[in-house]
Amino acid sequence: MLSKEENELLTQTDAGTPMGKLMRSYWIPALLSEEVPAPDSPPVRVRMLGEELVAFRDTEGRIGLIGEHCAHRGTSLFFGRNEECGLRCVYHGWKYDVEGHVIETPAEPQDSDFRKKLRHTAYPTHEANGVIYACLGPREKMPLFPNYEWTQVPLQNAYVTKCLLESNYLQGLEGECDSSHLSFLHRTFTNERNQPLYKSDTAPFYETEETDFGVRLIATRNTENQHYLRFSAFIMPIYGCVPAGRPTNELEGYEIHAYVPADDTHCWRYDIGFRRDRAVREDEVHRRKQINPDYTRVRNARNNYLQDRRMQKTVNFTGIEDFLNHDACATESMGAVFDRSKEHLGVSDKAVIAVRKFLLNSAREVQSGREPPHVVRDGRHNRFPHIDCFAHILPRKVPWREHFDYLTPTARKENPASFAARQKVAS
Ligand code: FES
Ligand SMILES: [Fe+2]
């Protein structure tokens, strides 16, 4: 349970709020590369952290992410002309470059230079494996772009989808930190013989560990001779890493689910996945079928997620198709911003509690003028091999801390053997 004040602090991300300031300390997804596919292709609206922006790819291929409303008299630049290295407003022809400079004011006298005094809102961007990330904080405090593994693998080894969720970002994010819902919300009744172990033990033992990047979450289910382990991670400020779609013992990559606030009552869910050693197959991106061209979902609150009550009796727990929609149904139906002073948390919510605490502490750090955790400034430490996610079975007598030593905070010291350790486990 949170107090109303804590709940507000965690859920409000507009400019000027403590959480808004925290979010603006990091690189987070702003849009997909496919939305601005080619130089001079049409601009698109981007709503994030309560800000109204437009993105465009200029003639040279550079990405601009600038304030939507023209600095002259406010017309939306979404309707603008993307031409000759700039975006031109349709009202009086003012033209902007990707850095927010006003480069032409053709309705003004030729000798006018007042455009030079203007600087339109513009944020830096970084494109990696189909995602355009942005940092909405002050330019002078911009951190390094973190070289997460999923941003570094070859393009064909990665996939991404994006969709709109009609609720506050935190409801989505908390779902990533909650292994116990796997045994219910995502349960299927078919193929009983090949069910993963999370079906048989519905009350896992949880451990959480604060790390330099956020919180590692370990859920253990026990059978007679074995541990079934699921390692997940929360990365500051909006990323949940899970072994989604990966069979037990597969160590070949994982999924990253990012929940970017559009405003306080909507968020963008990005599902990014990668394979370490091979190209992704089309069928691994099956989620695309669930998403409309405008990034809303086919199954949504207005059509009750197309829930099928007969299917709910015989096929799966919800009667709804696809994990994406199960999660959306569970978290959107709480209401746009759930009042966490009304909840009743149990032992199974340990990881949710740990992540909230980490976020609250980080927001307070920022409020008191200190830099929050995991803002990357040192290029020598800009790789994160200890962020890893997988499900694994170990003999009951083998402690996971020994077997996966590169994952523990004590092994956080320079650990060049981490990838080697992973290979050893895989073989
Ligand atoms: S409002 Fe954009 S140029 Fe006038
Ligand atoms: Fe889920």
- State the DSSP string of 409-426: GGG-S--TTHHHHHHHHH
Contact (CB, 8 A) for 143 and 377: yes
Mutate to test the pocket of ligand 1, among 68, 75, 95 (most ligand atoms within 8 A of CB): 75
Return the pLDDT at 193: 52
Ligand nearest to the CA of 245: 2
Strands (E), 109-191: 125-128, 131-134, 158-165
Return the pLDDT at 405: 81
Return the pLDDT at 412: 45
| Ion ligand 2, residues whose Cβ is below 5 A away | 327
Contact (CB, 8 A) for 237 and 363: no
Does residue 91's CB lie within 6 angstroms of at least one atom of ligand 1? yes
Return the pLDDT at 401: 86
Residue 356: exposure state from Cβ atoms within 10 A (0-12, 13-18, ≥19): buried
Measured CA to CA in angstroms, residue 201 lies from 195, 243, 247 at distances of 12, 18, 17
Return the pLDDT at 202: 79
Mark the ranges of the chain whose per-residue pLDDT is less than 70: 191-200, 409-427
Ligand nearest to the CA of 78: 1
Contact (CB, 8 A) for 32 and 131: yes
Return the pLDDT at 410: 52
Does residue 92's CB lie within 6 angstroms of at least one atom of ligand 1? yes
Domains and CATH numbers, the chain: 27-141 (2.102.10.10), 149-426 (3.90.380.10)
This prediction has a pTM of 0.94
Measured CA to CA in angstroms, residue 94 lies from 63, 77, 81, 101, 111 at distances of 18, 10, 10, 10, 15
For 330, the token pair is 């569970």
Does residue 87's CB lie within 6 angstroms of at least one atom of ligand 1? no
Q: How far apart are the first and last CA of the chain?
A: 44
Does residue 69's CB lie within 6 angstroms of at least one atom of ligand 1? no
